[in-house]
């Protein structure tokens, strides 16, 4: 396994991050335990979750599964850099969502309880809260850091200007601020190249791409369809929309002798701002197969061809939309 520092921090994390969103809804607890054990054996030390995962309001199903896995001992907790999130709706009563200091404190305590741990390594804001001032957000986060309940703070789904604003406000408070941004980024979704990635580079945030395979579309969707495997209804529309590109993409992968999923991950890993794409395996086979991406080195010619097939927004802003 390869390791890299998370943004400007001294924290070393694996170049692949284990996403746990499937744990509970699609992957049984027993299989989830096996996948996490195997991830550690493979050297993956970076796990990502969220208090809303499991999709039963207020229950934090996925966090509970991870907590029970930690509770088995064997230095599981000590070996893992655990990242979770706050923002989502956790109940029907007022103040059970978003980023008020009240909710941040309460949500953190509840995540700690479910995860059966005394601290969260990376506490991420799942979305921007335009109705809560940064003074309030940072005061709440500072208190959690001072109490030892949180070590680092990150963001998810922020715009570039949100990252700049957040870290400028943090600097005025002599607080470290954001150290990572988790965003939608893959060959078919490159909007973040305009302002999010440049902001992350400028402010020293590690980028943690979610949906690196575009919900499976970049994982050989056309080849799987020829084998008789049917994509989810929502993905069928995306596959139909991008079919000409997918045909070229899968043909290129065949020329390279690599699986489409591995090429998609390898493409993300070529970007120096990217810390670790989030892989969300439902099965052990998917987990182990993801490691191939770490050994793939894409040539300049291949990278240019991928840009032709999956063009980005035209570079960072303002060049992307101005002269």
- Residue 230 confidence (pLDDT) above 90: no
Count of beta carbons in the 10 Å neighbourhood of residue 40: 16
3-state secondary structure of 257: coil
pLDDT range class, residue 235, cuts 50, 70, 90 = confident
Sign of the dihedral through C-alpha 240, 245, 249, 251: positive
Q: What is the mean pLDDT of residues 53-78?
A: 97
Domains of the chain: 3-217+259-298 (3.20.20.100)
Of 159, 172, 174, nearest to 205 by C-alpha is 159
pLDDT in tens, 241-268: 999 999 999 999 999 999 999 999 999 9
Task: Please list the active-site residues.
Answer: 53
Count of alpha carbons within 13 angstroms of residue 1, beta-carbon side: 21
Q: How far is CA 303 from CA 266, 285, 292, 295, in A?
A: 10, 27, 18, 16
**Backbone torsions φ then ψ of 219, nearest 5 degrees:** -100, 30
Q: How far is CA 164 from CA 58, 71, 169, 178, 179, in A?
A: 31, 38, 9, 10, 12
pLDDT in tens, 269-311: 999 999 999 999 999 999 999 999 999 999 999 999 999 999 9
Q: Which of 98-107, 228-237, 280-289 has the highest mean pLDDT?
A: 98-107
Beta bridge partners of 90: none
Mean pLDDT of the chain: 96
Residue 300, both tokens: 């300049």
3-state secondary structure of 160: helix
Stated pTM of the model:
0.95
Q: Which strand (E) or helix (H) includes residue 209?
A: strand 206-210
């Amino acid at each position: 396994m390869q390791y890299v520092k998370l943004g400007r921090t001294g924290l070393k994390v694996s170049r692949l991050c284990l996403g746990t969103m499937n744990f509970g809804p699609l992957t049984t607890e027993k299989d989830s335990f096996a996948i996490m054990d195997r991830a550690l054996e493979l050297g993956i030390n970076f796990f990502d979750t969220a208090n809303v995962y499991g999709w039963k309001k207020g229950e934090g199903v996925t966090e509970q599964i991870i907590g029970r896995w930690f509770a088995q001992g064997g230095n599981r907790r000590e070996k893992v850099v655990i990242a979770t999130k706050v923002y989502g709706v956790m109940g029907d009563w007022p103040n059970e969502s978003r980023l008020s200091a009240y909710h941040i404190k309460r949500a953190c305590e509840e995540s700690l309880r479910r995860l059966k741990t005394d601290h969260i390594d990376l506490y991420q804001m799942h979305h921007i809260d335009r109705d809560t001032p940064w003074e309030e957000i940072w005061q709440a986060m500072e208190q959690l850091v001072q109490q030892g309940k949180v070590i680092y703070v990150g963001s998810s789904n922020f715009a570039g200007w949100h990252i700049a604003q957040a870290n400028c406000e943090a600097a005025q408070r002599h607080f470290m601020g954001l150290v990572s941004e988790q965003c939608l980024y893959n060959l078919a979704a490159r909007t973040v190249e305009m302002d999010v990635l440049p902001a992350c580079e400028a402010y020293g945030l590690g980028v943690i791409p979610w949906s690196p395979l575009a919900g499976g579309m970049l994982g050989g969707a056309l080849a799987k369809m020829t084998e008789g495997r049917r994509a989810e209804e929502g993905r069928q529309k995306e596959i139909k929309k991008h079919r000409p590109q997918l045909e070229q993409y899968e043909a290129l992968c065949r020329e390279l002798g690599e699986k489409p999923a591995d090429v998609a991950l390898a493409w993300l890993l070529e970007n120096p701002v990217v810390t670790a794409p989030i892989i969300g395996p439902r099965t052990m086979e998917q987990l182990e197969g993801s490691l191939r991406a770490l050994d793939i080195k894409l040539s300049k010619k291949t990278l240019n061809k991928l840009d032709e097939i999956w063009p980005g927004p035209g570079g960072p802003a303002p060049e992307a939309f101005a002269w």
